[in-house]
Structure 1
Amino acid sequence: MVKMKLVKWVPLVVAVVLFVSMFHESSALFTPVDNYLIACGSSQSVTFLGRTYIPDSVQSSMALKTQGNSIIVTSNSSVPFPVYQSARIFPSTASYKFDINQQGRHWVRLYFYPLPKSGQNLTSASITVITENFVLLNNFTFKNYNGSYLFKEFAVNVTSDNLILTFIPSNNSVAFVNAIEVVSIPDELIPDQALAVSPSAPFSGLSEHALETVYRLNMGGPLLTPQNDTLGRTWENDAKYLHVNGSAVNYSVSPADIRYKSAVTPEVAPNWVYATAETMGDSNVPNGNFNITWVFPVDPNFTYFIRTHFCDIVSKSLNSLVFNVYINSDIAFPSMDLSSLTSDLSVPYYKDFVSNASSNSNTLTISVGPDSEADIPDAIMNGLEIMKVSNEARSLDGFLPVEILRPVSPSTKSKIGIIIGSIAGALAAVALVGLCCCCLVSQRSKTAHQGHTWLPLPLYGNSLTMTKMSTTSQKSGTASCISLTSSNLGRFFTFQEIMDATNKFDESLLLGVGGFGRVYKGTLEDGTKVAVKRGNPRSEQGLAEFRTEIEMLSKLRHRHLVSLIGYCDERSEMILVYEYMANGPLRSHLYGTDLPSLSWKQRLEICIGAARGLHYLHTGAAQSIIHRDVKTTNILLDENFVAKVADFGLSKTGPALDQTHVSTAVKGSFGYLDPEYFRRQQLTEKSDVYSFGVVLMEVLCTRPALNPVLPREQVNIAEWAMSWQKKGMLDQIMDSNLAGKVNPASLKKFGETAEKCLAEHGVDRPSMGDVLWNLEYALQLEETSSALMEPEDNSTNHIPGIPLTPLEPFDNSVSMVDGVNSGTDDDAEDAATSAVFSQLVNPRGR
């Protein structure tokens, strides 16, 4: 075994020797049933990386159909690779039809290179490529591409006896392609399920999506070409994606040492991927317990399938290598002990996840770092694959569905004309009958319109507001729908009303994307601004959140809770309509944006507002409600910077009077999870208190709850901030913008409150009422310290306005929004709280 510093690239000559040595070990293990390698426009076969590409004019199991004449071009000049020596150009729509002998996943690989002297300006060609069910490329052009050639790899689930690839020129241009591959994939390679991250939960339905390979890395090893992969894949070295170059050290063994067992086969990844790895190196930090982090630019509008490959080739004995796997700032796999998972050393293992881009950026970060309980502080990764998942429009490039992009053939147009002519007479025949009904319909419509006013949301709904129908998932195609017939669940919106409010879900109105679905800004017919949360109908988790959100918010009305206006469950849709929160999530005002820094007083007032909302959840309803996902992205700010708690999809009714807790599966966001709840799966109101304690530290320090890029002792803000709080030095880590601007007594009370919230055991934490009391006291200490103190104002909505910037599009807890603020029944409660608080005489508070 050889340990090498990551200093320079492995010479190409050495790599070629390695490839030759591996070829006999890893090739020919899988023979695809369908194996089309097509050289488009070529007059002869082309050999590339050991594989032979057949001219598209002689392939008998494939048919080329064009609406006009295609153009064949070849080049005698130098090209990047032999596969790009020819191309077929399409001035009009054309398609390749492949006979499929085995249904299931297939690689669809496309090669593009704008050949010079082709008689066409291929660099400006605008190319759209679709299958019958998915959009693969949409208006791609080399004019906007930073590269001389393009290779695209997709994984498409073929469910019929043929696959049709359609090439559509657009913008009065042409389309072209140099080479095509359509190759079978083993059924077990890409499963239907993976583990979703933040919150951690099973994700199913991958078989209904197309995937596009974005990154495929061989950690610590050389470039692997299709010659050395039984599935024809390319694996690149990971060096250029490392966040800190010195953080990783290459480690390698002989590929012959890798022992495939159980479900892991060479088709999952070649043995050379598992025979090389990145392990922890010297990151120039005082503490060795740092993380190795890779950063990948991604399109934030899509979800990503992530496969991590591991093989313990560094340990001398079992159970000595234990580490954590992070995706963005979330722990995706805690305390991974490879030897316990594989029962041996040098045995491959992989784990699949589904995640969005990191908050406030267009990147996806993958990290590994040592676990605190590990004997040896080390971590390892051998390989990584990141694949884009098709969106709700079944597209991998943009948001136009395949039905819109698919051209209408002349024969179809002719049939449409005949159909229209045929039904014209029938329409004329029934016109008279329709005229007779107009008056009656008009009268009924007017009455219905008058009766379709907003239904008031009750202060307390009953537990049977969902009908029996609402508890059943109903299938309509691939969508899950839910019927809600109770009249006390707010206004019922028709789908057409939702379409009108959002301008047909205009992407320019997109506020954010989360696990439940996409959120759009909308305007109702009376001019009211709303936030429209459109659920993903394929998600069973989304169905549960849809029900929970309506059930919870129909019972609750409070100034510091985001209000639910209504819902829509037409056409198998799950849509929630909220008040519009103009200033978005609290997190965007703390870090990750260019918004002005909040003052200490502003932060206290926002925390007090959120605490009031949570206190009402715990005590204001007939039975307490535990939010279960308290974090800075679920605390939203209206146009007056009044804080409101949002996102009740994970909320749970609290324990009855004769119970101490609710036993339930762990849900929430890593970094904010109550450790006692995580260990025992026993949920109490004190779980929300712990999460709120993390929020308090986040507000003070303006950094994420988890940041795996930082040294080990700083990754978790709760642990890190608590160590400084116990030393009485919280001022050393607070936001630098607050330096010299915070009353020490106010900061001390704030730190003590956060420390109590973050107590290890729930019984040692205060109630939300006590937290609210102490925060009010911290605010009073801050106000009384000012020499120019203004007259007392007992409200929390006098924060001056701050310019709004667009919400980050891929936050897992999507921001809803709000601008309608009428007086509610809790105003008296707020006034009473302030009145009682003003009588405090104990300087320590509670």
Structure 2
Amino acid sequence: MVEMETVGWLPVILSVILVLLNLKASLATFAPADYYLIACGSPQNVTFQSRTFTPDSLQSSFELKVQGNSIAATSSSSVPSPIYQSARIFTSSASYKFKIQQEGRHWVRLYFYPLPDSPHNLSSSTITVITDDFVLLNNFTFKRYNGSYLFKEYSINVTSDALTLTFIPMNNSATFVNGIEVVSVPDALIPDQALILPPSSTFNGLSDLSLETVFRLNMGGPLLTPQNDTLGRIWENDMKYLHVNSSAVNVSVNPSVIRYTMSVTPETAPNWVYATAETMGDTNVPNQNFNLTWIFPVDPNFMYFIRLHFCDIVSKSLNSLVFNAYINSDIALRSLDLSSLTGNLATPYYKDLISNSSMDSNTLTVSVGPDTVADITDAILNGLEIMKISNDARSLDGLISVEGLLPKSSKKSMIGILIGSALGTLAAVGLIAFCYCCLIARRSKTTHQGHPRLPLPVHGNSQTMTKASTTSQKSGTASCISLASSNLGRFFMFQEIMDATNRFDESLLLGVGGFGKVYKGTLEDGTKVAVKRGNPRSEQGLAEFRTEIEMLSKLRHRHLVSLIGYCDERSEMILVYEYMANGPLRSHLYGTDLPSLSWKQRLEICIGAARGLHYLHTGSAQIIIHRDVKTTNILLDENFVAKVADFGLSKTGPALDQTHVSTAVKGSFGYLDPEYFRRQQLTEKSDVYSFGVVLMEVLCGRPALDPALPREQVNIAEWAMSQQKKGMLDQIIDPTLVRMVNGASLKKFGEMAEKCLAEHGVDRPSMGDVLWNLEYALQLEETSLELTEPEDNSTNHITGIPMTPLDPFDHSVSMIDGVISETDDYHQEDAATSAVFSQLVNPRGR
């Protein structure tokens, strides 16, 4: 009987033991597969922060390559730390190549200190550091730096068996480095997704980006060094970043009481971080509903990954601490009840967020405060990490990419290697190609059918598919999305693109966007083009690539940017457009030294863009919703004719029996339709709202979002609407337009913009109505110019002016494969327009 009872309990006992073993394993110290600690230029081992750094001259697991000479320098003077006692100095480009045992996230830590008695004046040296894919430092010099030494920490996802760090001296100076760390970290430490603010939505693709640690704080606690952290991190005290020092009260408990879980381990943060905190406490302020705020200086040109660490070490019972957390002025976490999330007290919890700088344009603020709904007057924060996210140029310092920083000699040597490799295999490849061509010739007598130099049709046809694109598809390149067989227009070979852009010369760079870089190019026949080169690593880019080609291959209109062709060879995603000589509308409104546009020019540009959007909404069998209308996506040709561009986010609209399309929210901050954002229901009225924001940008000559302005003025839609309702829109117009705008024209323009920005889509006009009203505003402006003496710049209020229709625009494109051409679109669009123009003799007629 006893034996049977023992046997019955055995599975339970084994389960408990297994759980305990798993928990112990989860809490075990992480053992990095790659662990390089290098003391550059040192003749011997260096002990620093209880770790041993070995000389770079004795390592066999990495390779140091120097194009010229390197100097190992040491100093007998006092230095900030032992790691700064020596340095490796380079007068030409040099690289450290590390063997990687395990792919994934790695710390890359760099130490710099200009040794005072070195052979070179290191204080004036420039430091540029790149990896295989990312720019870490660009043209840094200690002349512009207040500190005596520089420590940089990066998180880089290594996806090969090697990581190369290249140091490039700039401006004919030397460069140097004192110490290097390359250490594996758990992949789970940095997720691929995080919540982005504002508005609240999911950001995907962090694993493809590099990060730079800019702040890591132990709230209410002491400085923590690598001796206290299983991942070798440094956590500093938060006091100097507090907005009001007296507003915070330090609290702490014994670190041994911290209860880690399977999802939060010591690798997330040391127990000393969770065992200390800042709380609200007794602040001696009249209003207890204040926020505890930290302010950080940041570069406004980057986004930031923010991790908030929480642990309830102040409550005596569950559900007695409920509070809110904010990033800048945006609420990040509402009614946060830690005990409900963790099921216990003294149990760590963290939240990942992504945001940019605040209203001050160069600061980022983090706040916690009481939740007034819960009637609890306390809040807590235990730790904080802020990391800069690499930009579209794959840089953490400026807008120059790795390719733009590589020395010409390096580029030439790379070209030499490529040429050598090509010549080495030329015979074999040539033989295979010859045999393949012979086989094709036997199968088809029409060997030139589908030649890649065919012009782009308005709609795909059977002649569009090329041999080159078919080969690309079979070779397993980016053609896996089956573009080659989709009859989508002219296919460019990658070499043609290289020749057109002078091998993607950075001097031809027109801009950088979410999809990739845009270069100016020249085809063999002299045609100027814009070449958009996508990021092949981005899944979002792949979807945009396909959508852009499919949309533009079906659409032709004078006010839509024309797609000339594409290239998907060598896993590339490249789109070739007509070249728009005057660039984006935004460049002519603010932020550049370009001449200011007149009010008439602005109206004509808005009318052109409205015509393009109206065509998208009405010109084909199914509505097409652009979904990313903004001033950077309205381009101007050499005659300042406006054309709508960038259809990567476009989506076909609802069918006749539907009112909307349910889809994830996509678009640009400042232009997003609030109704679409709230309900995730997309209609063509979402484009109308975005266009209303564009109208206000055109009128005011300022960005849609300007964090440098007072809070109530940050969002142009809210600010301009409030002024419009007060009848004071003329007080916020672009200063260059003051006394240059006809009052009646301005009034009509403001009324139209106000309707576009209505809270609910049903209250907004159609793009046809928007177009009609803009043309009306232009007629008012033109007539006032005719009636006003040249020297008279006064504002006129004119009523009852006879109107004449505008001149028809070019409509030379014919109808192909059932797609409505510009000719037909003109008759459809302007027939309606002509009908309403008869009402213009009486401005009250509509």
Specify the TM-score bucket, using the shorter chain as the normaliser.
0.7 to 0.9
Aligned amino acid, residue 110 of structure 2: L
Tell me the residue number matched to 1:296. Answer: 298
Q: Which moved more, 1:174-183 or 1:756-765?
A: 174-183
Per the alignment, residue 639 of structure 2 pairs with: 640
Letter matched to residue 664 of structure 1: T
Deviations 1:386-441 (A, max 9, x none): 23438778998953469988999xxx9999999999989x79x99xx99xx99x99
Partner amino acid for 1:107? W
Is the Cα contact below 8 Å between 1:241 and 1:296 reproduced in 2? no
The residue correspondences of 1:657-806 to structure 2 (distance < 5 A) are 657-708=656-707, 710-786=709-785, 787-788=787-788
Matched, 1:251 2:248: yes
Match of 1:491 in 2: 490
1: distance between equivalents of 2:423 and 2:457? 50
Give the structure with the higher percent helix.
2
Counterpart of 1:75, as a letter, is S
1:6-405 matches, cutoff 5 A: 32=32, 35-42=35-42, 45-48=45-48, 50-56=49-55, 72-89=72-89, 104-120=104-120, 122=122, 148-157=148-157, 176-194=176-194, 204=204, 206-207=206-207, 210-214=210-214, 216=216, 225-226=225-226, 229-235=229-235, 251-256=248-253, 263-269=263-269, 294-297=296-299, 306-309=305-308, 311=310, 321-322=323-324, 325=327, 336-339=334-337, 342=341, 350-352=350-352, 366=364, 383-389=384-390, 399-400=401-402
Cα offset for 1:643?
Answer: 1.8
Q: Is the 8 A contact 2:358 2:364 kept in 1?
A: no
Does residue 570 of structure 2 align to residue 571 of structure 1? yes
Aligned residue for 2:844, secondary structure, equals coil
The answer to whether structure 1 residue 503 and structure 2 residue 505 are counterparts is no
Contact 2:557 2:612 in 1 (8 A): yes
Cα offsets for 1:133-180 (capped at 9, x unmatched): 777668877688776543332334456787676778899987654223
The question of whether the paired residues in 2 share the 8 Å contact of 1:627 and 1:648 is answered with yes
What is the CA–CA distance in structure 2 between the aligned matches of 1:729 and 1:406, rounded to whole Å?
A: 56
For the residues of structure 2 that align with 1:371 and 1:625, how far apart are their CA atoms? 44
For residue 610 of structure 1, report the CA deviation from its aligned partner.
1.6
Shift of 1:576: 0.9
Q: Which moved more, 1:602-611 or 1:112-121?
A: 112-121
Cα deviation, 1:510-569, whole Å, max 9, x if unaligned, reads 111122111111122222221111111111111111111111111111121111111111
What SS class does the counterpart of residue 550 from structure 1 fall into? helix
Change (3 A) 1:320 1:562: farther
Counterparts of 1:511 and 1:418, CA distance in 2: 32
Does the C-alpha gap of structure 1 residues 94 and 251 become closer, same or farther in structure 2, counting only changes over 3 Å?
Answer: same
Cα contact 2:197–2:332 (8 A) shared by 1 = no
Between 569-578 and 102-111, report the one with greater CA deviation. Answer: 102-111
Question: What is aligned with 2:5?
Answer: none
Paired residue for 1:482?
Answer: 481
Which one-letter code corresponds to 1:532 in the other structure?
Answer: V
What residue is the counterpart of 2:601 in the other structure? 602
User: What root-mean-square deviation, in Å, do the aligned CA atoms of Structure 1 and Structure 2 show?
Assistant: 5.7
Residue 455 of structure 1: aligned partner: 455
- Give the whole-Å Cα distance in 1 for the aligned partners of 2:416 and 2:694: 63
Q: Quote the offset at 1:112 in angstroms.
A: 2.8
Q: How does 1:418-437 map to 2 (within 5 A)?
A: none
| Equivalent residue number for residue 543 of structure 2 | 544
Amino acid corresponding to residue 336 of structure 2 in structure 1: L
Do 2:756 and 2:764's aligned partners in 1 also have CA atoms closer than 8 Å? Answer: yes
Quote the residue 2:15 is aligned against.
Answer: none
Larger radius of gyration: 2
The secondary structure found in structure 2 opposite 1:731 is: helix
Decide whether aligned partners of structure 1 residues 291 and 710 sit closer, same or farther in structure 2, where only a CA change above 3 A counts: farther
Which amino acid in structure 2 is aligned with residue 643 of structure 1? A
Deviation at 1:505, TM superposition (A): 0.7
Task: Quote the residue 1:804 is aligned against.
Answer: none
Q: Is the 8 A contact 1:533 1:577 kept in 2?
A: yes
User: C-alpha separation between the residues in 2 aligned to 1:602 and 1:672?
Assistant: 23
Counterpart Cα distance in 2 of 1:734 and 1:289: 35
Q: Is the contact between residue 322 and residue 336 of structure 2 (CA under 8 Å) also seen in structure 1?
A: no
Pairwise CA distance, 1:625: 1.0
| 3-state SS in 2 of match to 1:659 | coil
**Partners of 2:535 and 2:554 in 1: how far apart?**
24
Compared CA separation, residues 323 and 728, structure 1 to 2 (3 A): farther
Q: C-alpha separation between the residues in 1 aligned to 2:832 and 2:549?
A: 29
Which is further off, 54-63 or 488-497?
A: 54-63
Aligned partner of residue 655 in structure 2, secondary structure:
coil
TM-score (norm 1): 0.73
Shift of 1:695: 2.1
Alpha-carbon distance in 1 for matches of 2:363, 2:189 = 24
Residue type of the alignment partner of 1:251 = A
Alpha-carbon distance between aligned partners in 1 of 2:624 and 2:207, rounded to the nearest angstrom: 36
Unmatched tracts of structure 2, length 5 or more: 1-26, 791-801, 810-820
Percent of aligned pairs sharing the same letter:
65
The one-letter code sitting in structure 2 at the alignment partner of 1:518 is K
Shift of 1:500: 1.2
Q: CA separation in 1, counterparts of 2:421 and 2:570?
A: 26
Q: Secondary structure at the match of 2:575?
A: strand
1:521 matches 2:523: no
**Partner AA of 1:495 in structure 2:** F
Give the conservation status (yes or no) of the 8 Å contact 2:95–2:164.
yes
Shift of 1:844: 3.2
2:455·2:490 contact (CA, 8 Å) conserved in 1?
yes
Change (3 A) 1:657 1:260: same
Partners of 1:208 and 1:501 lie apart in 2 by 29
One-letter code of the match for 1:297?
A: D
Question: In the alignment, what sits opposite 2:559?
Answer: 560
The whole-number CA distance in structure 2 between the counterparts of 1:653 and 1:567 is 22
Structure 1 residues 319 and 757, CA, compared in 2 at 3 Å: closer, same or farther? farther
Instruction: Summarize the Cα distance change of 1:95–1:261 in structure 2 as closer, same or farther, 3 Å threshold.
Output: same
Q: Establish whether residue 627 from structure 1 lines up as the match of residue 626 from structure 2.
A: yes
Give me the whole-angstrom Cα distance separating, in 2, the residues matched to 1:598 and 1:628: 26
Cα offset, 1:485, TM superposition: 2.9
Distance 1:164 1:373 in 2: 49
Provide the residue aligned with 1:17 in structure 2. Answer: none
Deviations 1:236-293 (A, max 9, x none): 6789999xx78x98634324398766634453345676756799x99xxxx9999987
Structure 2 equivalent of residue 18 of structure 1: none
Deviations 1:770-796 (A, max 9, x none): 121222222223333343389988659
Letter paired with 2:298:
F
Select the structure with the greater relative contact order (CA < 8 A; seq sep ≥ 6).
1
The letter of the residue matching 1:770 is D
Query: What amino acid maps onto 1:687 in structure 2?
Result: S
Output one character per residue of 1:664-705: Cα deviation in whole Å (capped at 9) or x when no partner.
Answer: 222222332222222322222222222222222333333333
Question: What one-letter code is carried by the residue in structure 1 that aligns with 2:117?
Answer: K
In structure 2, what residue type is equivalent to 1:734? I
User: Structure 1 residues 422 and 784, CA, compared in 2 at 3 Å: closer, same or farther?
Assistant: closer
Q: State how far apart, in whole Å, the 1-side matches of 2:168 and 2:539 are.
A: 36
Question: Which letter maps to 1:178?
Answer: N
